[in-house]
């Protein structure tokens, strides 16, 4: 996207379109509550940024402030208006403005990807993790269902991919290197053990390979005191 300094305008918050790819996780939690309290007490202290596409204003940097203004009854907001040519430029504007000013976590980035954000705007770690899951499941539909489950429990896909990599290195058999076993392992982490880190912790504790592999194959939980019976 070429240099686009924008112009200052006062806009009606109800006419601003929120970015559909944005993560719903960004509209909850203590940071959102704190921002809302600040806006109620002091108003919106700095302009938001919007992308004007085909005569319509889309929030780029300022989706949460716009949403809060609607909630508390503030009708007008100062905005820096940038003209954009297409939705891709709009997403690019959002990421350029946001990544360098706010911390967007791995779970939020994954949620944005599932909401339609192009993977090219994600960081390399998340892109690779998503591609790994796509390779395992063979279709984006199945992979996205698993990614959605991870987002819903507030877990990064990277932690699950790391666990798979560590498991392969630790066990080092043809079985664990297959996509079918990877699917079993992901199911086990998401539905039985309920943690990706348990594989890493078991490996650090030198858990017997047979116990680990059998637990995954049989969909059985590894209890915390597994070492008592070894």
- Same domain? 92 vs 146: no
Q: Is residue 64 part of a domain?
A: yes
The 8-class DSSP code of residue 222 comes to: P
Structural domain harbouring 43: 7-104
Q: What is the DSSP letter of 19?
A: P
| 2 lies in some domain | no
Query: What's the chain's average pLDDT?
Result: 91
For residues 48 and 79, the answer to whether their CB atoms sit within 8 Å is yes
The tally of domains found in the chain comes to 2
Q: What are the phi and psi torsion angles at 50 (to 5°)?
A: -125, 150
d(CA 124, CA 138): 21
Residues 11 and 96 in one domain: yes
Q: Give the model's pLDDT for residue 12.
A: 97
Single out the residue in 104, 137, 152 at which a domain terminates: 104
DSSP secondary structure letter of residue 106: H
Half-sphere exposure of 43 (CA within 13 A, CB side): 8
Q: Give the C-alpha separation, 27 to 36, whole Å.
A: 10
CB 62 within 8 A of CB 48: yes
Location of structure tokens 């938001």: 48
In a domain, 1, yes or no: no
**Residue 113 domain-assigned (yes or no):** no
Please indicate, yes or no, whether residues 86 and 159 belong to a single structural domain of this protein: no
Is residue 157 located within the same domain as residue 213?
yes
> Looking at the predicted structure, is the pLDDT value of residue 113 above 60?
yes
Place of tokens 């997403």: 91
CATH number, residue 16? 3.90.1530.10
Does a structural domain hold residue 215?
yes
In a domain, 87, yes or no: yes
Residues 69 and 148 in one domain: no
Same domain for 96 and 26: yes
Q: What is the pLDDT of residues 143-170, one digit of tens each?
A: 999 999 999 999 999 999 999 999 999 9
How many Å apart are CA 179 and CA 211, to the nearest integer?
20
Report yes or no on 75 lying in a domain: yes
Single residue among 89, 104, 119 that ends a domain in this structure = 104
| Domain C-terminal end among 73, 104, 135 | 104
pLDDT in tens, 174-213: 999 999 999 999 999 999 988 899 899 889 988 899 999 9
In a domain, 23, yes or no: yes
Q: What is the pLDDT of residues 24-75, one digit of tens each?
A: 988 888 989 999 999 999 999 999 999 999 999 999 989 999 999 999 999 9
pTM, rounded to two decimals: 0.77
Strands in 45-135 per DSSP E: 48-53, 56-59, 76-83
What's the pLDDT at 54?
95
Residues 133 and 98 in one domain: no
Per-residue pLDDT at 1 exceeds 90: no
Q: Cα dihedral sign for 5, 67, 110, 55?
A: negative
The pLDDT, as a whole number, for residue 97 is 84
pLDDT of residue 101: 62
């Amino acid at each position: 996207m070429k240099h686009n300094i924008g112009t200052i305008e006062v806009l009606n918050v109800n006419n601003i379109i929120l970015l559909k790819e944005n993560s719903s996780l960004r509209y909850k939690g203590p940071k959102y509550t704190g921002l809302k309290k600040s806006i109620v007490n002091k108003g919106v202290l700095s302009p938001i940024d919007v992308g004007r596409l085909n005569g319509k204003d889309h929030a780029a940097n300022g989706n949460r402030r716009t949403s809060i203004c609607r909630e508390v009854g503030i009708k007008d907001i100062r905005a820096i208006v940038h003209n954009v040519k297409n939705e891709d430029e709009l997403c690019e504007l959002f990421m350029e403005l946001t990544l360098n000013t706010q911390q967007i976590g791995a779970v939020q980035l994954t949620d944005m990807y599932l909401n339609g954000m192009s993977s090219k705007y994600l960081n390399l770690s998340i892109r690779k993790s998503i591609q790994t899951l796509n390779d395992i499941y063979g279709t984006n539909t199945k992979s996205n269902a698993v990614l959605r489950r991870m987002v819903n429990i507030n877990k990064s896909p990277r932690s699950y991919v790391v666990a798979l990599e560590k498991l392969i290195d630790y066990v080092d058999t043809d079985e664990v290197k297959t996509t079918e076993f990877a699917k079993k392992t992901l199911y086990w982490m998401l539905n039985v053990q309920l943690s990706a880190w348990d594989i890493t912790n078991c490996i650090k504790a030198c858990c017997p390979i047979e116990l680990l592999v059998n637990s995954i194959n049989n969909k059985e939980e590894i209890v915390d005191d597994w070492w008592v019976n070894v």
